[in-house]
Amino acid sequence: MKHSEFTQLLMQWHMQKNTRQMPWKGEKDPYKIWLSEVILQQTRVEQGWSYYEKFIKAYPTLAKLANAKDEEVFKLWEGLGYYNRCKNLLYTARFIVKELNGVFPDEYEKILSLKGVGPYTASAIASFAFNKPYAVVDGNVFRVLSRWFGIDTAIDSAEGIKIFTSLAGKLIDKKNAGLYNQAIMDFGATVCKPALPLCSACDLQENCVAHEKRLVNHLPVKEKLLQRKNRWFTWFLFTHRNKIFVTKRTGKDIWQNLFEFYLVETDEKTEWQTDTINEVLKNQLSIANADIVHISPVFSQQLTHQNIKAVFIKIELSSVPVSLESYTCIGFNDIGKFAFPGIINQYLQSASMQSTLF
């Protein structure tokens, strides 16, 4: 039941509210879909957009690309990097023209056998061009499924890839495979974003496990976090009537079973200002009225495999929002009774913070 509910809600969002625009969106020509996917393999949509349009203008058909001179194609590719993508693009275009009579294959396995085409790209072409029921599984899909179903298996582990690929296959709308794949990718890119997701305006919020259990900023889990040199944490210290909200870390990450404040982790340092803070309060926690009391300087803690950089933001609330009801509310004088990670203790014990916090 939960599977069908997810698919139904996602498709409703897509048909009624998805306004994301891209030049290849809705495209049925397998050549153009393939071209867009190759460009986007190592490239952000914003950068790949202009390259896609330049390629389509220069080579509007597969045959045009196959007959182009290498140096002309590589010149057009210039700036995208990862030039093996371009080499494979030319090789495969010429293979299809010479060996397949210029007809792009319409079966998943045959598409997958093309040079430079992996499972994700093959699924995208099969579903978008031919409406075959193959689910795309990329970072957006991992994130959406991990959060909505509350799955904490690492998405970059062999077990995680197996679990999420299987789940994605069960969820796909088999009659509208292309629309479904576009929907979940767009939803992950525009609503269920990696940082600052739009939880308060999310059509799938009600039955989202991560939202219910306050795990949005902890999912999805990645094994390779241990290999990252720097991680950027921002803790929001929500206070109300001389009390502060804390929660216990229960995931598989560092500092398990220690207490912390409301955490937002980002890939890079965030320049916190009133607008960005209010965006988090509104979009993640449905908090409309709050006073921003203090933004700390950056604190650091070196662990065995990673360096933690942290900023602390104190927020005074006029009332307790529903989004924080699962947190433990403690008096300022009781903070010392709880076990916190070292970096939080650094902040709590710093002389300049004592007057601000208490």
Residues catalogued as catalytic: 37
Count of residues making up the chain: 358
**Cα separation of 335 and 338, whole Å?**
6
Is residue 330 packed enough to be buried (19+ CB in 10 Å), middle (13-18) or exposed (0-12)?
middle
DSSP-derived secondary structure letter, 333: G
Determine the 3-state secondary structure of 48 from DSSP: helix
Determine the 3-state secondary structure of 306 from DSSP: coil
Residue type, 184: I
Closest CA to 145 of 127, 125, 172: 172
Q: What is the C-alpha separation between 62 and 80, in angstroms, rounded?
A: 20
The rounded distance, in Å, linking the Cα atoms of 13 and 7 is 10
243-248 and 259-260 beta bridge pairing: antiparallel
Could you tell me which residues come within 8 angstroms of residue 149 by beta carbon, excluding any fewer than 6 positions away?
Answer: 2, 6, 167, 209
Half-sphere exposure of 164 (CA within 13 A, CB side): 28
Nearest to 317 by CA among 236, 233, 263, 249: 236
* 148 within 8 A of 210, measured Cβ to Cβ: yes
Phi, psi of 269 (to 5 degrees): -65, 135
One-letter amino acid of 101: N
| Whole-angstrom distance, CA of residue 121 vs CA of residue 126 | 8
Hey, what amino acid is at 139? G
CA 259 to CA 209: how far, in whole Å?
A: 21
Contact 252, 246 (CB under 8 A): no
Which helix (H) or strand (E) covers residue 346, if one does?
Answer: helix 342-349
